[in-house]
Amino acid sequence: MISITKKNNSDLFVYIAFGFLVAFITYTYVISELSNGYSDYSGHAYIYLPYFFSGSTLAEGFKAVPYCMWHLITLFFYKVLNIALDPSAAYTSCIFAVFSYGVGCFMIDKICKRYGAGYSAVRTAFLSTAFYIAQPLYFYWIGRGERFTGVYSPNPFHNPTLMCARGFSLLAFCLIVDIWGVQSSSEYKGLFFRTEKGLKKYYIYLAIVLFLSAMAKPTFAECFIPAVGIIMLVRLFKAIFKRKGKEYSKHFLNSFLCAVPTLLYIFLQFGAYFLLGGSYGSDDSRIIITRFGEVWSMYSDNIPLSMLLGMAFPIYMVLVDTRFFLKEDQGKLALTVYGIGFLQAMLLGESGGKLAHADFIWPMMSGMLLMYAVSLLRLISMEAGLNKVSDPLSELGSVSDQKSDLRKKIIVAGGWILFLSHVLCGVLFLK
């Protein structure tokens, strides 16, 4: 009993230590970005945040930046605790960074427990930190030449609001995976949560988490809700075909109700943004359908190449385990979210001068985040499966079995190499 407590305490210390590392990385990065007048951080801290005070009303602030979670918390540090603006902005980002790191640890830990991967706290915390840092592959002689021009990231550090939504996005994903699991089988044992006692509270959690993600930045909900809707609609039709439509329509309705507050909030945001003349003061801005890839082409000479650099690890995982991404709930959801985000990036834009802002690329980055998360979780489960196969008895197996094991080991090793290459690019980016 004493040794278990000691182990738990040392695990907690490891998680906290890595959490401080994440906070330190975020703090130094935000402070350095704030000194760059053209950075997103400067824009949000020095231009949009003052809308919430300095003679303006909260309503004016909301009109200018309807996704105001980062701004309100920064405002709390700045106005209520009287901390200078730069550290206030950095502290806010640190809070959300540590939160999303914590969600990453939670996801990895749950997957390890489910598949018997037996990861130590150090390994779990390291992987969650690495997942937070991972950036697109970068070679100066590929692409536009400037770092990340046209190659987008699952962790766009330079944007305070999308990073603010990161933790909520991952939590919403975990919740829907378990909700779907219970919906498909009453005997389902939750992967991330204890769903044995019913789904009622998880539906409420999902509604809250989705709403908070939209409050941080609506881009995740903009592709997550349609993706969940499409997948569930297909299932509903299948259920109707199998004469189980009545039962499944209840699940469909419950899930839809979770999305209603968020949808209303997004409509309110869009109204403030496009109808009331928010949109960073651009009066003529409205949503338009562009030529396929018109906006992305402004920043990339070769969109498939940009996708490859940004998504090398998830693409590799899709290549080696296509069936997982087409048949499995987690993979299917991540792929659909990315697909919807990709279509938004390729087809939507804002009219006038704001076309170049490429604001509909953000949902795709939320999709990239889920693709990375699912790929990492899948890689962990693959490795765990491999370790189970590699017991001494397997030596008695046939030559073809051993060859198959070797091939699997090479595939898993390739996955880790690619993932860590993304992490290395992230470290070099932050350096």
Partner 1 sequence: MKKFLPYIILAVFCAGIILFPVKTADEVFRIEFTGNENGVLEGTDCTLYYSTLSPDAFNDDQSISCPVDNEKYYVEFRLDGELNNNIKGLRIDFPAEDQLFCVGGVFVKSAGVLKKRYDPCVFFSEENLKQANDIQGVSPIRDGKVVYIRTGSEDPYIVFSDALVDDVSGHFSHYIITKLLICAVIIVCFFSYKKDIFGLYKNGRNKEGNIDMTEGGEA
Q: Which residues bind partner 1 (CB under 8 A)?
A: 114-115, 141-145, 150, 180-181, 184-185, 187-191, 300-302, 304-306, 308, 315, 318-324, 326-329, 381-382, 385, 404, 407-408, 411
Please state the closest distance from residue 299 (CB atom) to partner 1, in A. 11
Residue 424: what are its φ and ψ, rounded to 5°? -60, -45
Q: Which of 300, 421, 430 is nearest to 372 (CA)?
A: 421
Give the shortest CB-357-to-partner 1 separation in angstroms: 21
Min dist. Cβ of residue 333 to partner 1 (A): 12
Nearer to partner 1, 262 or 381 (CB): 381
Q: The tokens 């396929």 sit on which residue?
A: 292
Rg (CA), the chain: 22
Nearer to partner 1, 205 or 324 (CB): 324
Least distance in angstroms from the C-beta of 407 to partner 1: 7
Q: Are 91 and 83 in contact (CB under 8 A)?
A: yes
Structure-block tokens of residue 180: 């779907």
Nearer to partner 1 by Cβ, of 144 and 158: the residue is 144
* DSSP bridge partners of 289: 348
Q: Alpha carbon 62 to chain centroid distance?
A: 24
93 vs 183, beta carbon nearer partner 1: 183
Closest distance of CB 125 from partner 1, Å:
25
> Three-state SS for 289?
strand
Considering the complex, state which of residue 93 and residue 330 has its C-beta at the smaller distance from partner 1: 330
For the bound state, the minimum distance from the C-beta of residue 87 to partner 1, rounded and expressed in Å, comes to 28
* Least distance CB 355 / partner 1 (angstroms): 19
Neighbours of 78 (CB within 10 A): 23
Give the shortest CB-233-to-partner 1 separation in angstroms. Answer: 16
Task: Please give the Cα distance from 340 to 42 (Å, whole number).
Answer: 30
Q: Least distance to partner 1 from the beta carbon of 405, Å?
A: 11
**Residue 188 structure tokens:** 């389902």
Question: Quick one: which of 155, 118, 169 has its CA closest to 25?
Answer: 155
Burial class for 361, CB neighbours closer than 10 Å (0-12, 13-18, 19+): buried
Kindly tell me which of 126 and 325 has the beta carbon lying closer to partner 1.
325
- Residues 35 and 27: beta-carbon distance below 8 Å: no
3-state secondary structure of 148: coil
Residue 373 in contact with residue 131, Cβ under 8 Å?
yes
Cα torsion 409, 413, 415, 416: sign: positive
Q: How far is it, in rounded angstroms, from Cα 133 to Cα 179? A: 29
Shorter beta-carbon distance to partner 1: residue 104 or 331: 331
Closer by beta carbon to partner 1, 157 or else 193: 193
Among residues 284 and 301, whose Cβ is nearest to partner 1? Answer: 301
Sign of CA dihedral 215, 201, 96, 231: negative
